[in-house]
Structure 1
Amino acid sequence: MSDSIITKIDDMGGRINELEQSINDLRAEMGVEGTPPPPSKSGDEPKAPADST
């Protein structure tokens, strides 16, 4: 039974890797590879550092 679970986890890991690669390929096609992700809607957006001048 544990071999079956390990096999399923390995399969899921492979599928996740393929999905990540597909997402990266799509982002590269759209030309947004170097842009940050959109801000989250949860309200914990990063604050810009204060100007030191």
Structure 2
Amino acid sequence: MAETDPKSVQDLTGVVQTLLQQMQDKFQTMSDQIIGRNILFTRIDDLEKNIADLMTQAGVEEVEGENKPKEGEAS
């Protein structure tokens, strides 16, 4: 049985190393996705701010939500 123990330990070590590498890969992928989303949301926020600034400069009132007609206007 002493001869099979080192092989079993080596097999177990290999399995554990493989699992740890897979976990690291998944963690890295998730981390990259989170960072990518944060960058995307930052860009969207910047774009919305720029549009709002342009609308203000053009004298257009910003309407919350969808494009709703002002009071007294036909829809």
Sort the TM-score into its range (normalised by shorter chain): 0.5 to 0.7
Q: What's the TM-score once normalised by structure 2's chain length?
A: 0.46
Percent identity over paired residues = 29
| Larger-gyration structure (1/2) | 2
Greater relative contact order (CA < 8 Å, ≥ 6 in sequence): 1
Residue identity matched to 1:31: G
Structure with higher helix content: 2
* Displacement of 1:34: 4.8
Q: 1:14/1:24 Cα in 2 relative to 1: closer, same or farther (>3 Å)?
A: same
Match of 2:36 among 2, 5, 8: 8
Q: Normalising by structure 1, what TM-score?
A: 0.63
Structure 2: runs of 5 or more not aligned: 1-28
Aligned length: 41
Alpha carbons 2:55, 2:62 under 8 Å: kept: no
Runs of 4+ in 1 over 4 A off after TM superposition: none
- The runs of 5 or more residues in structure 1 that have no matched partner are 40-46, 49-53
Q: What secondary structure, in the 3-state scheme, does the structure 2 residue paired with 1:32 have? A: coil
Instruction: Please provide the CA RMSD for this pair.
Output: 2.9
Which amino acid in 2 is paired with 1:7? Answer: I
